[in-house]
Amino acid sequence: MSDDAFELKVVDVVEETADAHSISFEVPAGAEEQFAYKPGQFLTLAVPSDRTGVAARCYSLSSSPVGGGPLTITVKRTAEGYASNWVCDNLREGDTMHVLPPSGIFTPASLSADLLLFAGGSGITPVISITRTALEQGTGRIVLFYANRDESSVIFARELTELAAAHPDRLQVVHWLESVQGLPSEEQMRAFASAYLSYDAFVCGPAPFMKLTIAALKELEFPRERRHQEKFISLGGNPFGDLHDKEVAEHEIEDAESDPDDVTEAEPTDPGPEGPVRLEVELDGENYSFDDWAPGTKLLDHLEAKGVKAPYSCREGECSACAIRLLEGEVKMLHNDVLDEDDLEEGIRLGCQSVPVTDTVKVTYH
């Protein structure tokens, strides 16, 4: 098992709906710092597998980092989802799981910003975490558009009603039920969002829902820095380091797949710089400087060799846990299955796949 994994005890299991369970974990003494998290992040679990020994799966945190509550994920069954069904069928209070610390960048830069949140199905999981935290620590207004198949599919229905009643001046929840209204169209989403053009938008749910919503936001000319989309992609590697065949691991929320158009491969013929590169890194409020980043060495590997605990999950360029933002210079990614053209234009890169192109590179983890 990877040195970065921790064994966490299950302290509670709640059946939210017929096919969605919330699993709460106790953080071991001494690991509080590693499991500090931001709203919208996820955990990576080592799910037992008879075929491969372990299957790594990423599940968004539905709990809030404020208020002292337990670390909680919410998992919805998918028709062919081995791990999601295993979690719902097998995990009980008192069980233990090997878990990697929180990762992910689907989180507001400011909890006091006005937030326009879109959730489809179990895409509510990171969105409820953002909502809970912003209401507790922020001052902005929050509008939540929540789409589901029918009334029985609505996860956190009671809590959302209670939160809206407790914060009438700050939280508005709009439910959209396919059984009543049919599937929302891009035109309907655009009409809804048009009243909130100054808000920061966050979109999470099945791939078609996210594609439609993002298209509506783009048509309304929401700037990229105020438009955020959770990515549901496959993890081809095993971050837990077990000596078993590698099992495909994916975000199980709606079992959505990434758009093939989002895949970007760097040109392997780029020779890069001839000598050592100067690297400046901002991470968790600390600044690091190195003059010996070797050409061809991945950023994550270099930082680990220097004793810097940079975030990561899959190490394969197939998740966003290691995302960095370029401040100066340029890198190339050897593999990228998660960042789209808008992300790249914004300067976002994957630390686990980035090698230097210029003699000086300055980045920040955000």
Question: Model confidence over 66-84: pLDDT tens digits?
Answer: 988 999 999 999 887 888 9
Q: Within 10 Å of residue 180's Cβ, how many Cβ atoms?
A: 9
| Residue 360 exposed, middle or buried by CB count within 10 Å (0-12, 13-18, 19+) | middle
Exposed, middle or buried: residue 182 (CB in 10 Å: 0-12, 13-18, 19+)? exposed
CATH code, 115-229: 3.40.50.80
Return all residues near 102 (Cβ < 8 A) that are at least 6 apart.
35, 36, 37, 38, 41, 42, 43, 61
Q: Are 120 and 112 in contact (CB under 8 A)?
A: no
Interacting residues of 59 by C-beta distance below 8 A, sequence separation 6+: 42, 43, 45, 73, 74, 75, 87, 125, 251, 252, 253
Task: Please state, in angstroms and rounded to a whole number, the distance separating the CA atoms of residues 318 and 325.
Answer: 17
Spelled out in words, what is the top-level CATH class assigned to the domain 6-103+238-254? mainly beta
What is the pLDDT, as a whole number, of residue 312?
Answer: 81
Start-end of CATH 3.10.20.30 domains in the chain = 262-365
Q: Where in the chain is the domain with CATH 2.40.30.10?
A: 6-103+238-254
pLDDT (0 to 100) of residue 265: 39
Q: 168: buried, middle or exposed (CB in 10 Å: 19+, 13-18, 0-12)?
A: exposed
* CATH 3.40.50.80 domain locations along the chain: 115-229
pTM for this model (two decimals): 0.78
Instruction: Identify which of 254, 208, 207, 239 has the alpha carbon closest to the alpha carbon of residue 80.
Output: 254
Q: Which of 132, 110, 114, 106 is nearest to 200 (CA)?
A: 114
Low-confidence ranges of the chain (pLDDT < 50): 234, 236, 242-269
- Could you tell me the two tokens for 64? 């809030």
pLDDT in the model for residue 271: 58
What CA–CA distance (Å, rounded) separates 353 from 336?
8
- For the record, the structure tokens of 262 come out as 């989002």
For residue 137, the model assigns a pLDDT of: 97
Q: For residues 12 and 91, give the distance between their C-alpha atoms in angstroms, rounded to a whole number.
A: 9
8 A C-beta contact, residue 277 and residue 358? yes
- Classify 262-365 by CATH class: alpha beta
Place of tokens 């020779």: 271
